[in-house]
Amino acid sequence: MWKNKLFETAKDCVLIEKAPLSDYTTFRVGGPAEILAKPQTEEALCSLLDWVKSEAVPFLLIGNGSNLLVRDGGFDGLVIHIGNALGDVRMEGNCLIAQAGALLSKVATVAADNSLAGMAFAHGIPGSLGGAVYMNAGAYGGEMSQIIEWVRVWTPDGVKKWNVDEMGFGYRHSRLMEENAVVLAACLKLQVGEREAIRSQMKELMQQRKSKQPLEYPSAGSFFKRPQGHFAGALIENAGLKGFTIGGAQISEKHAGFLINHNHATAADVLNVMRAVQEKVFEETGVQMENEVRIVGKDQ
């Protein structure tokens, strides 16, 4: 049984059976993980990934869980949580090097403290560095591909360092989505700036977020991808779906691009709202809305 082997072999990992994944996603919904593992060092993470590969164990990798919807039945297999234990951020020469578990807000703050500009756009993105690299996260005209110099990754063939031009970055995309590779750390290329000006820009962008986005409710951020030639929020609003609710899930009345956990929603509620939006928008415009949020796990 792979679970017994895991408890025998996993070193420097916290292992939790039946951990509720609602505690590990910003949506605050989702059933339990069969086992949740929290590697405490980069070496422990690599060893665990090597073991998962050799044993062919079904696994899910999560960081801050900010672009993720876990179904109500949870995940059958091993969930590997890359969290604060792998959240180191440090200066190395003129480079800012951050581990995969570092929150983007922390990375942006360290950059500002060191008078480095170029990271302000990411300050309010509620994700970790690993997840942001994986999906080339962006906001306010900036995206991760613009500030990455190299990424250290675990691959089935060993740990490698990929330069930015080897990452296959596109809109909300990287080669990591097609390959069995995991972000361990990244080096960010930033520019020397004026500390207070950088902090002022970060504050201004955060105020914009608070005024336009429903940050007071659990969500996974922008739920749908931006359709070519359109804006997801505008399509949803024009379809008369602002405030549309099923169970505890709702299309935000503040920003129609956000599907929020308005009142103790289940994952089924969220998925039902998603499908209703897709059907209505397609019926009215012929545009097929695709979810940007990853959907994993099984139904209850």
Instruction: Quote the tokens at residue 158.
Output: 């060993």
Instruction: Quote the tokens at residue 147.
Output: 């500030």
- Distance, in Å, from the CA atom of 67 to the CA atom of 222, rounded to the nearest integer, reads 9
From 172, 175, 199, 209, active-site residue: 172
Q: Does the active-site annotation cover 22?
A: no
Instruction: Quote the tokens at residue 265.
Output: 């929603």
Task: Give the dihedral sign, CA 139/259/18/54.
Answer: negative
- Distance, in Å, from the CA atom of 73 to the CA atom of 3, rounded to the nearest integer, reads 19
- Please state the φ and ψ torsions of residue 54, each to the nearest 5 degrees: -65, -30
Q: Does the active-site annotation cover 195?
A: no
Please report, in angstroms and rounded to a whole number, the separation of the first and last CA atoms in the chain: 24
From 28, 199, 292, 294, active-site residue: 292
Select from 149, 62, 53 the least CA-distant residue to 101. 62
From 47, 128, 219, 222, active-site residue: 222
Contacts 24+ apart (CB under 8 A), 84-92: 85/38, 85/39, 85/40, 85/41, 86/39, 86/40, 86/41, 86/42, 86/45, 87/128, 92/187
Strand partners, 80: 37, 61
Q: Does the active-site annotation cover 222?
A: yes
**Spatial strand order in the sheet of 219-222:** 219-222, 258-261, 249-251, 245-246
Residues classed as catalytic = 172, 222, 292
